[in-house]
Amino acid sequence: MLRRAARARLAPFGAAVVVLASLVALAAPLVAPYDPLAQDLGATLAPPGRGHLLGTDNVGRDVLSRVIWGTRVSLLAGLVSVVLAVFAGSALGLVAGYCGGRVDGVVMRVMDAVLSFPPLVLALALGAVLGAGLTGVLLALGVVYTPTFARLMRGQVLSIAARDYVDAARALGAPAWRIAARHVVPNAINPIIVQASLSVAFAILAEASLSFLGLGIQPPQASWGSMINAGRGYLQQAPWIVFGPGAALFVTVVALNFVGDAVRDALDPRTRE
């Protein structure tokens, strides 16, 4: 009871943060007080204060403005990589579940193989060969998350395809693609949505981890992970370089978790008490 009540209070908070972050990301050029790339060598490592709300970094760039521009990268990365994985995974799961037999075996073994790599290590290796850029990281994360959705979709397809209304549609002579589009997918979509909403937070964390390690969007462009890595050397003199983007990342991930939990509670009958 208490947990549900707490969640009911936390979900709107999470949603508010997510909406705010999305607005900030969309309106980055308008809300950022400074140019995120503009260096001011007269004001390096300035502490948070009136001129610079979150201080400046080692070459005098405004930390707040860079955090604001970094919001774009993080949200984009979380969203795009999960959307890629949802489409690729659902399509593969649909084909595997629907065709069965050999096709099913091959597709699912490939998915098992992808799952045999620790996610971050796979993303790191893929990101490395695809080239250090945002596209490489998005593709790498998309690949990493694909098997989850493929497995979910396949399981759904298998259980739905055995139901009477699918038999009825088949008996009426509906072609396979029509059955898939009209009957299977709409009934299978809920768990996919739940998983997708929970995955966005993980994808944002993963993008931040990779850009912390040096993959992803390249400096001087701002992303939270790379800002934190760059600020590492100034932890003693200027901890705000790390803690500004760090706080943004942490709050965003917590908020997305609340939203994901709320989506699950709303769509998954098993978690309802």
Partner 1 sequence: MGRLVLRRLSATVPVLFLVTAGVFLLLHLTPGDPIDVMMAESVDATVKETLRRELGLDRPIHVQYAAWMGRLLQGDLGRSIRNGEPVIENVSRRLRPSLELAFFAMTISLLVAFPVGIVSAIRRNTAIDRAGATFALFGICMPNFLLALLLIFFFGVTLRWLPISGYTDPLEEPWNGVRSLALPAITLGLALAAVVTRTLRSSLLEALTEDYVRTARAKGLSEWRVIWGHVLKNALIPVVTVLGLQLGTLIGGAVITEYVFALPGVGRLVVDAVFARDYPLVQGVVLLIAVGFIVSNLVVDVLYGWIDPRIRSR
User: CA 196, CA 213: separation in Å to the nearest integer?
Assistant: 25
Q: How far apart are CA 131 and CA 162, in angstroms?
A: 44
- By beta-carbon proximity to partner 1, the closer residue of 22 and 257 is 257
Least distance in Å: CB of 165 to partner 1?
A: 31
189 to 208, contacts with partner 1 by CB under 8 A? 201, 205, 208
Per CB under 8 A, the list member of 48, 100, 155, 214 interacting with partner 1 is 214
Nearest CA to 205 out of 257, 243, 147, 139 is that of 257
Q: Candidates 47-55, 86-94, 154-162, 238-246 — which segment interacts with partner 1 by CB under 8 A? A: 238-246
Q: Pick one of 89, 216, 246, 260: the residue that binds partner 1 (CB under 8 A).
A: 246
- For partner 1, the binding residue among 242, 259, 262, 263 (CB under 8 A) is 242
- Closer to partner 1 by Cβ: residue 99 or 128: 128
CA dist 219 and 214 (Å) reads 9
Taking the least distance from each CB to partner 1, the nearer of 3 and 50 is 3
Residue 184 DSSP code: I
Selected binder of partner 1 within 124, 161, 188, 222 (CB under 8 A):
124
The identity of residue 27, as a single letter, is A
User: Judged by CB under 8 A, which stretch of 11-19, 49-57, 119-127, 151-159 contacts partner 1?
Assistant: 119-127
The correct pick among 257, 265, 266, 267 for binding partner 1 (CB under 8 A) is: 257
How far CA 96 is from CA of 89, 151, 171, in Å, comes to: 10, 9, 22
Contacts with 71 (C-beta within 8 Å, 6 or more apart), sequence order: 21, 24, 25, 28, 248, 252
Give residue 183's identity as a one-letter amino acid code: H
Surface-to-core class of residue 74, CB atoms within 10 Å of its CB (0-12 exposed, 13-18 middle, 19+ buried):
buried
Q: According to the binding rule CB under 8 A, does residue 112 interact with partner 1?
A: yes
Measured CA to CA, the distance from residue 103 to residue 86 in angstroms comes to 20
Figure out which of the listed residues 209, 265, 266, 267 binds partner 1, where binding follows CB under 8 A: 209
The reply on whether position 126 binds partner 1 by CB under 8 A is: yes
Which residues of the shown chain bind partner 1 in the complex (CB under 8 A)? Answer: 1-3, 6, 109-110, 112-114, 116-122, 124-131, 201, 205, 208-209, 212-215, 225, 228-229, 232, 235-236, 239, 242, 246, 249-250, 253-254, 257
